[in-house]
Amino acid sequence: MCIDLLRHGEPAGGERYRGSGVDDPLSEQGLEQMWRAVGGCAPASGPWSRIISSPMRRCLDFAVPLSHALNLPLTQVPDLREVGFGSWEGRTPTELRQNSPEAFLAFFRDPMRARPRGAEPLKDFRRRVDGALDDLIRRHEDEHLLVVTHAGVIRAAVCGALEVPTEAMYRIKIAYAGVTRLRRDDRGMMLEFVNRRHLADSA
């Protein structure tokens, strides 16, 4: 089984914290980034059996037209939405550094306990992502899936594949429209690559 995890492209509104509470549409550049990432996958030779997407607009804006172009089934999975950032939703890193520097740095030192006010507990987030991926593995054991999702979900998936603590999530940088590939065989789940910008390069 092979799972390609594609992060959404750049959203409109620039860099800011968007969890499950803020859902800007893709910018024109963000949409171009995503098409570029899959550009080598023509409809006649595309590798996937189906497309799975977060229900958030910045993922569906691409997943829907791609499913039509490739004539592939598309399924929305609510548990693949981004982690909720609570009071940080919609705020920029620059703003947080200036106005709440101690809380900002504490979050990266201890993301499990130093959560923004009202944020989804990272333990709960990891549990729902693990559950969603386990369900995909059970349902589509021998397939090649494209999962259109978010940086946090991809970080959690990488932590699961490598069996590293959830606390390490934010040490993994996930680029806009970057592709991460997980492959599962009789040895278990393996990480094949992270942040590939052009899937044609992985053939």
Which ranges of 140-202 would DSSP assign to H, the alpha helix?
A: 151-162
102: tokens are: 């101690």
Per-residue pLDDT tens digits for 63-89: 999 999 999 999 999 999 999 999 999
**pLDDT greater than 60 at residue 203:** no
> What is the rounded (10 degree) CA torsion for 122, 52, 179, 187?
80
H-helix or E-strand spanning residue 183: strand 179-185
Residues of the chain with pLDDT > 70, as a percent, come to: 95
Q: Alpha-carbon torsion 25, 29, 34, 40, what sign?
A: positive
* Distance in angstroms (rounded) separating the CA atoms of residues 19 and 62: 18
Per-residue pLDDT tens digits for 164-196: 999 999 999 999 999 999 999 888 899 999 999
Tell which wins on pLDDT, 6 or 14.
Answer: 6
Identify the pLDDT of residue 187.
87
Q: Give the position of tokens 């750049």.
A: 10
Angle 27-65-28 (CA atoms, 0-180°, nearest 5)? 15
* Distance in angstroms (rounded) separating the CA atoms of residues 10 and 59: 10
**In one letter, which amino acid is 96?**
L
Identify the pLDDT of residue 117.
95
**pLDDT greater than 50 at residue 44:** no
* Distance in angstroms (rounded) separating the CA atoms of residues 203 and 29: 25
**pLDDT greater than 60 at residue 108:** yes
Residues of the chain with pLDDT > 90, as a percent, come to: 87
CA 17 to chain centre: 14
CA 9 to chain centre: 10
- Give which of 49, 133, 46, 118 is closest to 83, Cα–Cα: 118
Identify the pLDDT of residue 148.
98
**pLDDT greater than 80 at residue 42:** no
